[in-house]
């Protein structure tokens, strides 16, 4: 079974609006990552946040992490039509402090940005 | 192009046939991962290698599946006696081993259709 649960499953917005996606997970993690996937393509790494970090920014992306609630959110500001894609959170599970390497993905949020 | 490459991009086969996929990771990356993704789901971990050693295998990887990474470079994933349930996108990713983080770089995937 997959560790992450993402919400919403689908999100439809207008260009220029902000998009927020949420991810919840079950076990202790080393880090949490967000990936984007365009239809039928491979995944592209967006941002990584470590378990001891609470917020991280990268361009128009803002990620928060609340380890007490085992949840994370991804905010895309000033969205563009090119942001249309599926977005996945992935957790790197804590195995005694070291990174196992393998990622456990959520089911993803399908984001559609209308021009 | 110095990214992760996968070959073939598409494979259609008949049930019962064997198939083999190849992944070429980013050259300096010592970790290599295989994931499987079905429609509407996030990727699910199958196995990973550190250099030539296969360090973990998911229970999703039945006896019909075998993966190798000779000399710690490219990797192959073979599925024997394919079944219709094997139809999926098979994704390969690579990364550098790190105590702190594990950003993975994905290839474009091989889409397998079993008739």
Band of the pLDDT at B28, cuts 50, 70, 90? confident
Residue A59 belongs to what H/E stretch?
Answer: none
The answer to whether the beta carbons of residues B19 and B78 sit under 8 Å apart is yes
d(CA B47, CA B91): 11
Residue A1 pLDDT grade (very low, low, confident, very high; cuts 50, 70, 90): very low
Minimum-distance CB partner of B108 among A42, A48, A102? A42
Q: Inspect the interface and report whether the beta carbons of B101 and A48 lie closer than 8 Å.
A: yes
Radius of gyration of chain B (CA): 13
pLDDT in tens, B85-110: 999 999 999 998 766 667 899 999 99
Which residues of chain A are within 8 Å of residue B100 when distances are taken between CB atoms?
30-31, 50, 99
Give the strands of the sheet with B5-7, arranged side by side. Answer: B5-7, B19-24, B75-79, B65-68
Q: Is the pLDDT of residue B25 over 60?
A: yes
**CA B15, CA B115: separation in Å to the nearest integer?**
6
Question: Which residues, including other chains, have CB under 8 Å from residue A52's CB and lie 6 or more apart?
Answer: none
- In percent, how much of chain A has pLDDT > 90? 76
**pLDDT greater than 90 at residue A5:** no
Token readout for B78 is 């073979």
- Here the tokens at position B34 are 């295989």
Give the model's pLDDT for residue A73.
Answer: 97
CA gap A82, A5 in Å, rounded: 24
pLDDT for the residue numbered B26: 93
Take residue B51 and report the two structure tokens written for it: 């250099």
**Which has the higher per-residue pLDDT, B24 or A6?**
B24
A46-52 mean pLDDT: 93
Instruction: Extract the tokens encoding B82.
Output: 């394919």
């Amino acid at each position: 079974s997959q560790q992450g649960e993402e919400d919403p499953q689908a999100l439809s917005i207008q260009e220029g609006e902000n998009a927020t996606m949420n991810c919840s997970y079950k076990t202790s993690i080393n880090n949490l990552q967000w990936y984007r996937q365009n239809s039928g393509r491979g995944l592209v790494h967006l941002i990584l946040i470590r378990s001891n970090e609470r917020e991280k920014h990268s361009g128009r992306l803002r990620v928060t992490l609340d380890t007490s609630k085992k949840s994370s959110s991804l905010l895309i500001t000033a969205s563009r039509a090119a942001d249309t894609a599926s977005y996945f959170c992935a957790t790197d599970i804590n195995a005694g402090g070291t990174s196992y390497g393998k990622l456990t993905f959520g089911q993803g949020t399908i984001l559609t940005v209308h021009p | 192009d110095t990214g992760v490459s996968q070959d073939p991009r598409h494979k259609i086969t008949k049930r019962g046939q064997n198939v083999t996929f190849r992944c070429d990771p980013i050259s300096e990356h010592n970790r290599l991962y295989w994931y499987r993704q079905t429609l509407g789901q996030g990727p699910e971990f199958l196995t990973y290698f550190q250099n030539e050693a296969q360090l973990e295998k998911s229970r999703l990887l039945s006896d019909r599946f075998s993966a190798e990474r000779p000399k710690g470079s490219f990797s192959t994933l073979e599925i024997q006696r394919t079944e219709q349930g094997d139809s999926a996108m098979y994704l390969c990713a690579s990364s550098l081993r790190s105590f702190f983080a594990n950003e993975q770089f994905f290839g474009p995937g091989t889409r397998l259709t079993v008739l």
